[in-house]
């Protein structure tokens, strides 16, 4: 069975592949906050298990087996976050660290029961898709709020590159999944947006925030 460290490496490679198609030793060293020699040693171990395809000086890719293994870790993490929010009443900014610990539990029946109690959700509290048990991941074609123009009306479907501080700020501004924005103004200088939503009017969101809010157009 994978150790917790191996699982964290698999998950890191998975996320890097989602962003960049491949992963490098340097990128993994930065992601895992270790030196390159430590990463190389671990990658060789993962390759021995058949979880990664690795050749010296070449990008690293998860094998088909490794892809499924990594997706299962992410599935457990995102189901846990959903359970903590929907069943236990945690805020969406409170659940990441807890899920980081729970995702390494080996009890398949625990996560199957979570899934069933939640009604088999397809996304976590932040809108990130939950992989199926076979490792398949369905991504919806949402775009960042920053891509839209004055007059557009959008519905928030996911928050990417989220941090606890970003989620706490959104909560303070009464923004959550399902919030509908109407764009009133886009500042030419810094691309910040002035939006109306719910009972809030003339709220300014920075470009950094807008590019992390994934939306669907509803007008």
- Residue 181, helix vs strand vs coil: strand
- Residue 183, helix vs strand vs coil: strand
Burial degree of 3 (CB within 10 A; 0-12, 13-18, 19+): exposed
Contact between 146 and 114 (Cβ < 8 Å) = no
Q: What is the pTM of this model?
A: 0.89
pLDDT at 140 (0 to 100): 87
Tens of pLDDT, residue by residue over 34-59, are: 999 999 999 999 999 999 999 888 89
Contact between 198 and 182 (Cβ < 8 Å) = no
CA–CA gap between residue 116 and residue 118 (Å, rounded): 5
Tens of pLDDT, residue by residue over 208-218, are: 999 999 999 99
Tens of pLDDT, residue by residue over 186-197, are: 999 999 999 999
Triad 54, 55, 56: Cα angle to 5°: 125
- Residue 155, helix vs strand vs coil: strand
CA–CA gap between residue 103 and residue 124 (Å, rounded): 14
HSE-CB at 149 with a 13 A cutoff on CA atoms is 0
pLDDT > 70: percent of the chain: 99
pLDDT at 1 (0 to 100): 46
Statement: residue 9 has pLDDT above 50: yes
Contact between 75 and 133 (Cβ < 8 Å) = yes
CA–CA gap between residue 185 and residue 102 (Å, rounded): 43
Tens of pLDDT, residue by residue over 23-40, are: 999 999 999 999 999 999
**Could you tell me the domains of the chain?**
3-62 (1.10.10.10), 143-217 (2.30.30.90)
């Amino acid at each position: 069975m994978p150790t917790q460290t191996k699982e964290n490496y698999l998950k890191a490679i998975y996320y890097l592949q989602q962003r960049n198609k491949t992963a490098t030793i340097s990128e993994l060293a930065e992601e895992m906050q270790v030196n390159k020699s430590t990463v190389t040693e671990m990658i060789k171990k993962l390759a021995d298990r058949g979880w990664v395809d690795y050749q010296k000086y070449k990008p690293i890719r998860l094998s088909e087996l490794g892809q499924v293994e990594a997706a299962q870790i992410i599935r457990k993490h995102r189901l846990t976050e959903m359970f903590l929010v929907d069943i236990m009443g945690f805020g969406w900014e409170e659940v990441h660290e807890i899920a980081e610990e729970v995702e390494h539990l080996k009890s398949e029946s625990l996560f199957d029961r979570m899934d069933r109690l939640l009604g088999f959700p397809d996304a976590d509290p932040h809108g990130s898709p939950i992989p199926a048990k076979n490792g398949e991941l369905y991504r919806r074609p949402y775009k960042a709020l920053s891509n839209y123009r004055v007059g557009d009306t959008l519905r928030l479907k996911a928050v990417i590159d989220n941090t606890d501080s970003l989620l706490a700020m959104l909560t303070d501004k009464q923004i959550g999944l399902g919030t509908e924005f109407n764009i009133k103004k886009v500042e030419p200088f810094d691309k910040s947006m002035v939006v109306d939503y719910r009972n809030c009017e003339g709220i300014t969101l920075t470009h950094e925030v807008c590019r992390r809010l994934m939306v669907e157009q509803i007008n």
